[in-house]
Amino acid sequence: MNEMSRAVTEVATVKLLIDGKFVESRSTQWRDVVNPATQVVLARVPMATRDEVDAAVAAAQAAFKSWRKTPIGTRARIFLKYQQLIREHMAELAALLTAEQGKTLPDAEGDVFRGLEVVEHAASIGNLQLGELANNVASGVDTYTLLQPLGVCAGITPFNFPAMIPLWMFPMAIATGNTFVLKPSEQDPMVTMRLVELALEAGVPKGVLNVVHGGEEVVNALCDHPDIKALSFVGSTKVGTHVYHRASLAGKRVQCMMGAKNHAVVLADANKEQTLNALAGAAFGAAGQRCMAASTLVLVGEAQAWIPELVAKAKTLCVNAGHEPGTDVGPLISCAARERVEGYIESGVQQGATLELDGRKPHVAGYENGNFVGPTIFSGVKPGMRIYDEEIFGPVLVILSADSLDDAIALINANPNGNGTAIFTQSGAAARRFQDDIDVGQVGINLPIPVPVPLFSFTGSRASKLGDLGPYGKQVVLFYTQTKTVTQRWFDDDTLHVGVNTTISLK
């Protein structure tokens, strides 16, 4: 983080959104938003002050009083309009995302589209936020439940999906009647802010959605704020664990989706060409900066002979700036990220893994200053090596071997993370055994990235998730609402009272 040292007119400043107005921060601490392919400064983002965080929460608190009573149909229509606006601006959003994050344009469109699916689901809130009714649970007595909004909610989002993950959060929170304070990643907030502008255009009232920017101090302020009732986080395990415990101690409802080490198991009977294509895309797409990347490959039995063909497939991928046609692997988000990934590669070599393909320092003509690491493959990897035990978050695929499917399952279940896993096979029996015995929240069968559509819920598990409920789908409706149970009896005026009943019976 650098101090303000240049005139604000040199590059655009990213604004805060407080009570329906985009305002300039009064912070003295700012960070550059940098194009990772060129190092060109695109904008400057403020580290918001504590007063600005308090103002955003206060605006959300004030707006909640009327928003919680807004008819559910009115809320739904806002998100019908919002999904239309996102579709109309898809190319603009993807280009902005690619410039600040580095993804290829097709991958950037996919980022926006997967968030758009959640917006579409939010437009169905009338069917999702239904309570239950039991008639005549006792004589003349009915019981029913209400799913009521909590109040002010907050979200902290990561750099790797600056469109999708904000759209996982604030649409469902707002659709259920809450108000929201969003803290986007300070590394690439521009596409998030454009999505926020479109949300206001769609009709989100002032104060219902607010945005603050910043780093650790702002995160802690959101965790500690007494008027925030629920907090959602997606990001690294280190930060997520801190957020979960700090916000929980402050009495908040919390969900944290965190780090991963996703294993893909390949049996020898799998369709080779389809499997190799799927693995290359899942391991190296988005430069490996996905919490659902297939970063770990377990080859079972005779499938261990596939390594040369997988290496050959990886070599065909084009490393270039994300906006260039034909690019398969764009840059990492920052110079620090590139240096970290290169450090992991060196550690793999030092610890005895076989470097089948070295992606360090690729030559990318015209983008010599970019944060590029090409597809990298290690074989002979074992538990205990850093490249297996830790999340690399780069285009590095580590390969382990197993003699049997049972051995592969035992290996995966021994890993602390449980975000996602996959199996490639043509055996229904093997796939069924895998899905039943694997202790991982999300399972793909002949699919490398098993991220559910919003009709279901994101269900990572174990060390990859803290909190019981997922960030979208039916589970998130429960996360953003409080169940109130009402038991009622009505009497006619001429009903005869039978006297005082001191038992617990409702007869």
- Each of the 507 residues of the chain gets a pLDDT tens digit; together they read 443 334 344 799 999 999 999 999 999 999 999 999 999 999 999 999 999 999 999 999 999 999 999 999 999 999 999 999 999 999 999 999 999 999 999 999 999 999 999 999 999 999 999 999 999 999 999 999 999 999 999 999 999 999 999 999 999 999 999 999 999 999 999 999 999 999 999 999 999 999 999 999 999 999 999 999 999 999 999 999 999 999 999 999 999 999 999 999 999 999 999 999 999 999 999 999 999 999 999 999 999 999 999 999 999 999 999 999 999 999 999 999 999 999 999 999 999 999 999 999 999 999 999 999 999 999 999 999 999 999 999 999 999 999 999 999 999 999 999 999 999 999 999 999 999 999 999 999 999 978 899 989 999 999 999 998 999 999 999 999 999 999 999 988 765 555 677 776 656
Cα angle vertex 378, ends 372, 379, to 5°?
165
Q: Which 8-state DSSP code applies to residue 426?
A: S
- Contact yes or no for 286/388 (Cβ under 8 A): no
Confirm if 26 and 4 have CB atoms less than 8 A apart: no
* pLDDT at site 502: 73
Contact 127, 116 (CB under 8 A): no
What's the Cα-to-Cα distance from 102 to each of 155, 191, 314, 492, rounded to whole Å?
Answer: 23, 12, 19, 69
The per-residue pLDDT for 310 is 98
pLDDT at 507: 60
Kindly state the tokens that stand for 465.
């998730």
Q: Buried (b) or exposed (e) across 335-372, using 16+ Cβ within 10 A?
A: eebbeebbebbeebeeeebebbbebeeeebeebeebbb
Nearest-10 crossing angle of helices 90-101, 190-202:
160
User: 505 is written with which tokens?
Assistant: 């019976």
Residue 234 dihedral angles phi and psi, to the nearest 5° = -135, 130
Q: Is the dihedral of CA 108, 114, 116, 119 positive or negative?
A: negative
Question: How far, in Å, CA of 395 to CA of 403, rounded?
Answer: 26
H or E element: which one contains 495? none
Of the candidates 268, 279, 254, the one whose C-alpha atom is nearest the C-alpha of residue 479 is: 254
Place of tokens 């019908």: 80
d(CA 162, CA 396): 22
Closest by Cα among 59, 17, 169 to 480: 169
Tokens found for residue 495: 């009903």
> At CA 160, angle to CA 79 and CA 183, rounded to 5?
60
CA 274 from centre of chain? 27
Give the per-residue pLDDT at 8. 40
Maximum Cα–Cα distance for the chain, whole Å?
Answer: 91
Q: From CA 333, how far away is CA 322, in angstroms rounded?
A: 11
The residues carrying an active-site annotation are 291
CA atoms within 13 A on the CB side of 21: 7
Residues forming beta bridges with residue 210, ordered by sequence position? 181
